[in-house]
Amino acid sequence: MSQPPHHAASPELERLTLGFVPLIDAALLIVAREQGCFAAQGLDVSLSRENAWATLRDKVAAGLLDGAQMLAPMPLAMSLGLGRAPCETLAPLLLSRNGNTLTLSTALSQASGAELTDDPAASALALGTWLRGQGGGQRPRLAMVYPYSCQHYQLREWLTLGDIAPDRDVELIALPPPRMVEALRDGQIDGFCAGEPWGTLARHCGVGRLVATGAQLWPGHPEKALGVTRSWAQRYPATLAALLRALTAAGVWLAASPEHRRQAREWLALPPYLDRSIRHLDTLAHDVSPVHQHLYGPDVLRPTPQAALHFADPIVRQLEAQGGRFDPAVLAACYSPVHFDAATHH
């Protein structure tokens, strides 16, 4: 095992466990383990597959996981006490930007004429026109992955582009990402907004059609982040720095060649990770239309409070609706680049 750079303090922890949900943007965690980036920093990292975001959140808060891939809004929601007791949580590194798809069942897409174009409003307007022509017919049931997620906020924004009231004209439910395609196939839902690979898998299986993407609605938005509690970061600063260096190195390796991205796809397709859900993809290609998912690059990984403003606004509205008051300092702390900059000498 190679050792951390001579100028870096040795990690306080040698063994740690990080959680992930089976999505393409768990790639840096998986690559860092399989390619040896964690080991090069003196870390023995186990990856724990969690199928539901709420379970992952609670395990991080309880200390059962040292950290995890998180929905980008999750550290802020956790810090503000939305969905659970407050737990100060940090996002010291971003794992992806973009990557969400809005998918309707093949039947609903055909009936409404909603289809993917360069303008996400076009598909929303088609669906809205069809719904208004139903004369009070059954409301479509649309799924998102978690109440405090870009998927939820993007789905609501897309609906409003078609003059569809999210709380009146459709039924919104939360489902874990791995359940989306099966639920769509079985008729339990009529559409969903989720991260990849689930939208393109639904399309590949013939049960759904893409009608818009998160990249169209919020270009370049932070989608996933490494999340750790503030108390963990304060207790293990050298371990956190080693984690950030390892994940940055994984991003550099991914960016280096198409062969590396094909190898990464093979790792993600292993049973402990994404298994068969990714077999319809040839590679982890960068910035491919229409999803335009970004998994690597210094401008991708470095967090900033400004980049979080897309999802901060709806979170603030949710907080205030529950009688809470928002402190901008919480947002600044959650997405501060200070840990990333110190670890990587940015």
Q: Per-residue DSSP letters for 17-54? A: EEEE-SSGGGHHHHHHHHTTHHHHTT-EEEEEE-S-HH
Q: What is the pTM of this model?
A: 0.95
135: confidence class by pLDDT, cuts 50, 70, 90? low
- How many domains does the chain contain in total? 2
Kindly state whether residue 10 falls inside one of the protein's structural domains.
Answer: no
- Nearest Cα to 99, choosing from 273, 296, 254, 295? 295
Domain end among 217, 251, 269 = 217
Q: Please give the pLDDT value at position 286.
A: 73
Mean pLDDT of 266-283: 94
Which has the minimum average pLDDT: 139-153, 194-208, 244-258, 281-295?
Answer: 281-295
Residue 284 pLDDT class (50, 70, 90 cuts): confident
pLDDT digits (tens, 9 = 90+) for 203-253: 999 999 999 999 999 999 999 999 999 999 999 999 999 999 999 999 999
* Full residue range of the structural domain in which residue 90 is found: 15-98+221-344
The answer on 255 and 210 residing in a single domain is: no
Indicate whether 89 and 234 sit together in one domain.
Answer: yes
Question: Is 136 contained in some domain?
Answer: yes
What local confidence, expressed as pLDDT, does residue 5 receive? 43
Same domain, 118 and 91: no
Banded model confidence at residue 138, pLDDT cuts 50, 70, 90: confident
Residue 2 lies in a domain: no
What is the pLDDT at residue 327? 95
Confirm whether 225 is domain-assigned. yes
DSSP per-residue letters across 160-196 = HHTT--TTTTSEEEE--GGGHHHHHHTTS-SEEEEET
The answer to whether 125 and 132 are in contact (CB under 8 A) is no
Q: Which residue has the tokens 């491919």?
A: 288
Q: Is residue 310 part of a domain?
A: yes
- 84 and 20 in a common domain: yes
Claim to verify: residue 151 and residue 57 sit in the same structural domain:
no
pLDDT for position 287: 80
Q: Which two tokens stand for residue 299?
A: 């401008």
Cα gap 166→161, rounded to integer Å: 11
Q: 56-61: list long-range contacts, CB under 8 Å, 24+ apart.
A: 56/19, 56/20, 56/21, 57/83, 57/84, 58/84, 59/19, 60/19, 60/87, 60/89, 60/227, 60/228, 60/229, 61/85, 61/87, 61/89, 61/229
Residue 8 maps to a domain: no
Which of 217, 244, 270 is a domain's end point? Answer: 217
Q: Which of the four pLDDT bands, split at 50, 70 and 90, describes residue 136?
A: low
Has residue 7 been placed in a domain? no
**Is 6's pLDDT higher than 50?**
no
Say yes or no: 93 and 129 in one domain.
no
Percentage of residues in the chain having pLDDT higher than 90: 91
Determine what percent of the chain is predicted with pLDDT higher than 70.
Answer: 97
In a domain, 238, yes or no: yes
Q: Indicate if the pLDDT at residue 1 is higher than 50.
A: no
187, 39: one domain: no
Do 145 and 287 have their domain in common? no
Domain boundary (168, 197, 217) is at 217
**Under a CB-based contact definition with an 8 Å cutoff, are residues 171 and 143 in contact?**
no
Looking at the fold, whether 81 and 47 belong to one and the same domain comes out as: yes
pLDDT surpasses 90 at 285: no
The 10 Å Cβ neighbour count of residue 2 is: 9
CATH number of the domain to which 307 belongs: 3.40.190.10
Q: Do residues 189 and 335 share a domain? A: no
Q: Same domain, yes or no, for 321 and 229?
A: yes
* Residues 16, 30: Cα–Cα separation, whole Å: 14
Q: Are residues 110 and 157 in the same domain?
A: yes
pLDDT reported for residue 7: 52
pLDDT band at 283 (very low <50, low <70, confident <90, very high): confident
Q: pLDDT band at 45, cuts 50/70/90?
A: very high
